[in-house]
Amino acid sequence: ETEADKISYVFKVVVIGDSAVGKTQLLSRFAKNDFCLDSKSTIGVEFQTRTVNINSKVIKAQIWDTAGQERYRAVTSAYYRGALGAMLVYDVTKRQSFDHVARWVEELRAHADTSIVIMLVGNKADLVDLRSVPTEDAVEFAENQGLYFFETSALTGENVEQAFFKLLEEIHRVV
Ligand code: GDP
Ligand code: MG
């Protein structure tokens, strides 16, 4: 039995949010330790994979990165096609990136499947002196919109595993 035979599910997850909030670093942090790591670059989008165990099932997370398209608000519906989860990232030191979260949620509601599981992530939590988005603001927004929420640091690794695993667990519950 090969590694591929054991995989029960492949979950496509998209990472979205403003430019420079740390999307690529979060993805690298989550995927880089895995020996199954592979990455692919096609037409300006790319993904990395990590195989994890969720409730004794082997799940391959295929996590897509926007590769700079967020700067031009040109993320296409192809990017969202088949996505079961979304990691919506803002930067806790950049108020504007949090103010834009509502717009990203609208994007998801317009282009993604209605059952998509959304994890809101306030990244760069290590930059305590530069923080401009209070945790409570994000908690309130997440509750109102029905999103899961974590504050993370791709730099220190704080909560990165927790955020991805929670998202994958919730996807597993609904598939
Ligand atoms: P993207 O445009 O959203 O993919 O953002 P990147 O992952 O390229 O990160 C943008 C910049 O923020 C880079 O200089 C990263 O080193 C930095 N960065 C990303 N995550 C963190 C973090 O958690 N803490 C700190 N201090 N810097 C970070
Ligand atoms: Mg990037």
Beta strand 7-16 with 117-123 is unpaired
Q: How far is the CA of 66 from the centre of ligand 2 (A)?
A: 6
**89 and 22 in contact (C-beta within 8 Å)?**
yes
Summarize the chain as % helix, strand, coil (round to 5): 40, 30, 35
- Which residue from 25, 71, 75 has its CB within 8 A of the most atoms of ligand 1, so it is best to mutate? 25
pLDDT in tens, 55-104: 899 999 999 988 766 654 567 788 899 999 999 999 999 999 999 999 99
**Residue closest by Cα to atom 6 of ligand 1:** 22
pLDDT in tens, 1-52: 676 778 899 999 999 999 999 998 999 899 875 333 344 444 455 788 999 9
**27 and 46 in contact (C-beta within 8 Å)?**
no
- Per-residue pLDDT at 16: 94
Ligand 1 pocket, residue 46 CB under 6 Å? no
Q: Is the ipTM of this complex over 0.90?
A: yes
Average pLDDT over residues 102-113: 93
- Please state the pTM of the whole predicted model: 0.91
- Per-residue pLDDT at 42: 41
Ligand 1 pocket, residue 20 CB under 6 Å? yes
